[in-house]
């Protein structure tokens, strides 16, 4: 699938000031680690801030209190921050790691190693997503296979052993894995049929199977429900079902389950959120070490759990066992809960942070903790196109995704133009192709997957020398 993951972009020599103004189209992907943060800008460049014994991949140590660019590459697809290591995939399908690799979780064939620079893992070009746990790693390939490496003392690698691994190793033989998330010592995953699976540590019931017994292999969670999103935290888990209802389970000492108690649960609990006098549905979730974040269908941000460092963003440092709204904004798009800090991204691509900041993980230029959201300034890249968002110039969105048939597509175009839409399967076979006329501004189109089999597809948008790829899942 290498050819489907590559995007074409015209690069120009261009002078930039050191910082651009907040509000500029800036951030695209975010990931909060233990005491550091990683992000990808809309121009495809990679950035980090916070603790830096080696996990920022800068080639040198020393904490950073403001975003600093990691290398000069501008073709990063996705990134994930763990406790002390980092994983990323480029748009060409290559896998990269850096940081501490004591338990082999860098995947470089070594134990007790450390890498100060961003380093490629193997030579494969068919990686699609990654998730960095505390000291282990998970990844998916474009063919739907699941891979794991690193520490395995509680079976978090899912391979029916407790032996640590220092290279990516396939988990079972299934080729229908769709979503993954690595927690502290447990893992969650969803298959293309929307079944949810869990494995690893289970002392707090974080596997959600009704007991507290560790599992060395993936076990299905609540087969009666279908699932579309997952998030694995320190000792708790979160998920969204096909009705966009929120479910939580596992450790609840600090109220991170949001059910109004501090009692652990080894079964998924339905968490009803009432906003504006009505029961709300949930769009996004993120489980931190001991706190939780959600975005509701009205695009408001809510948090629950441990708050000693102000990571809930509620203007206080008091724990809460129910979800509370953060501020009055209704423009939230993406969230990432770290160890004791939180990141939240608006549709405008403004990035905000709150919580512990001793290592500079809030990215606000100082090391002062905050219990309210603080704006992370948008830095200019050392290697980028003239328009910072040119690599993703249409900001293509697809919903619902996963889908049952019709997928809605949203484009933001700078000019009136024709865009060719092509649908490919995992083998690179073109299944559909159409040319759509776009006007300046927002455009809404659809693509019909009703006659396609359940599985993973890639939609490629092309026009005026640009190309953008988005991954679709059919139930």
pLDDT tens for each residue of the chain, 475 residues long: 333 333 222 222 222 223 334 445 799 999 999 999 999 998 999 999 999 999 999 999 999 999 999 999 999 999 999 999 999 999 999 999 999 999 999 999 999 999 999 999 999 999 999 999 999 999 999 999 999 999 999 999 999 999 999 999 999 999 999 999 999 999 999 999 999 999 999 999 999 999 999 999 999 999 889 999 999 999 999 999 999 999 999 999 999 999 999 999 999 999 999 987 889 999 999 999 999 999 999 999 999 999 999 999 999 999 999 999 999 899 999 999 999 999 999 998 999 999 999 999 999 999 999 999 999 999 988 754 333 333 446 778 888 888 888 998 988 887 778 888 988 876 667 899 898 888 888 888 899 998 888 887 888 888 766 667 777 888 8
Predicted local confidence at residue 24, as pLDDT? 52
Evaluate the omega torsion of the peptide bond into residue 400 and state whether it is cis, within 30 degrees of 0: yes
What is the CATH number that goes with domain 393-474?
Answer: 2.60.40.2550
| In the block, residue with structure tokens 């651009």 | 20
Predicted local confidence at residue 426, as pLDDT? 65
**Phi/psi at 4 (5° precision):** -85, -20
DSSP assignment string, 323-360: EEE-SS---EEEEEE-SSEEEEEETT--EEEEE--TTS
CATH 2.60.40.2550 domain span(s) along the chain = 393-474
- C-alpha span between 101 and 109 (Å, rounded): 10
Q: Is the distance from CB of 160 to CB of 131 less than 8 angstroms?
A: no
| In the block, residue with structure tokens 């794991």 | 148
CATH 2.130.10.30 domain span(s) along the chain = 14-376
Predicted local confidence at residue 219, as pLDDT? 98
Give per-residue pLDDT as tens, 195-221.
Answer: 999 999 999 999 999 999 999 999 999
Evaluate the omega torsion of the peptide bond into residue 402 and state whether it is cis, within 30 degrees of 0: yes
Distant-in-sequence contacts of 208-215, Cβ < 8 A, 24+ apart: 208/237, 208/249, 208/250, 208/266, 208/267, 208/268, 209/266, 209/267, 210/266, 210/267, 211/266, 212/266, 214/154, 214/155, 215/155
Is the CATH code 2.130.10.10 the one for domain 14-376?
Answer: no
Question: Residue 52, class by beta-carbon neighbours within 10 Å (0-12 exposed, 13-18 middle, 19+ buried)?
Answer: buried
Give per-residue pLDDT as tens, 284-342.
Answer: 999 999 999 999 999 999 999 999 999 999 999 999 999 999 998 999 999 999 999 99
């Amino acid at each position: 699938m290498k050819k489907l993951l590559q995007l074409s972009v015209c690069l120009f020599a261009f002078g930039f000031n050191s910082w651009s103004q907040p509000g500029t189209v800036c951030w695209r992907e975010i990931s909060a680690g233990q005491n550091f943060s990683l992000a990808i800008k809309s121009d495809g460049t990679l950035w980090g801030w916070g603790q830096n014994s080696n996990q920022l991949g800068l080639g040198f140590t020393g904490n950073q209190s403001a975003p600093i660019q990691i290398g000069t590459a501008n073709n990063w697809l996705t990134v994930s921050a763990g406790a002390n290591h980092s994983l990323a995939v480029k748009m060409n399908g290559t896998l990269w790691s850096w940081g501490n690799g004591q338990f082999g979780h860098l995947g470089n064939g070594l134990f007790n190693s450390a890498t100060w620079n961003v380093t490629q893992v193997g030579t494969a070009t068919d990686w699609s997503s990654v998730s960095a746990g505390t000291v282990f790693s998970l990844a998916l390939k474009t063919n739907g296979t699941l891979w794991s490496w690193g520490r395995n003392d509680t079976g978090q690698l899912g391979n029916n052993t407790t032996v640590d691994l220092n290279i990516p190793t396939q988990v079972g033989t299934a080729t229908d894995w769709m979503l993954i998330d690595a927690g502290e010592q447990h893992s969650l995953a969803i298959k293309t049929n929307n079944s949810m699976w869990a494995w690893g540590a289970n002392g707090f019931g974080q596997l959600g199977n009704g007991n507290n017994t560790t599992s060395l292999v993936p076990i299905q969670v609540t087969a009666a429900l279908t699932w579309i999103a997952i998030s694995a935290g320190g000792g708790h888990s979160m998920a969204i079902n096909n009705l966009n209802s929120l479910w939580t389970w596992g450790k609840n000492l600090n109220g991170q389950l949001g059910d109004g108690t501090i009692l652990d649960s080894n079964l998924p609990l339905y968490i009803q959120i009432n906003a504006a006098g009505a029961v709300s549905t949930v769009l996004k979730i993120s489980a931190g070490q001991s706190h939780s974040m959600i975005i509701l269908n009205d695009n408001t941000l809510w948090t629950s759990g441990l708050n000693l460092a102000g990571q809930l963003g509620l203007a206080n440092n008091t724990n809460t066992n129910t979800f509370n709204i953060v501020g009055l904004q209704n423009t939230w798009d993406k969230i990432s809960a770290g160890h004791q800090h939180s990141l939240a991204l608006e549709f405008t691509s403004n990035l905000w942070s709150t919580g512990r900041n001793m290592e500079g993980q809030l990215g606000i230029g100082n090391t002062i903790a905050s219990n309210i959201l603080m704006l992370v300034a948008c830095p200019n890249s050392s290697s980028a196109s003239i328009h910072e968002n040119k690599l993703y110039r249409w900001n293509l969105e697809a919903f619902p995704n996963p889908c049952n048939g019709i997928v809605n597509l949203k484009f933001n175009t700078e000019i009136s133009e024709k865009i060719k839409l092509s649908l490919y399967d995992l083998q690179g076979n073109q299944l559909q192709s159409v040319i759509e006329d776009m006007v300046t501004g927002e455009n809404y189109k659809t693509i019909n997957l009703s006659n396609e089999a359940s599985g993973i597809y890639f939609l490629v948008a092309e026009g005026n020398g640009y190309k953008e790829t988005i991954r679709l899942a059919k139930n």
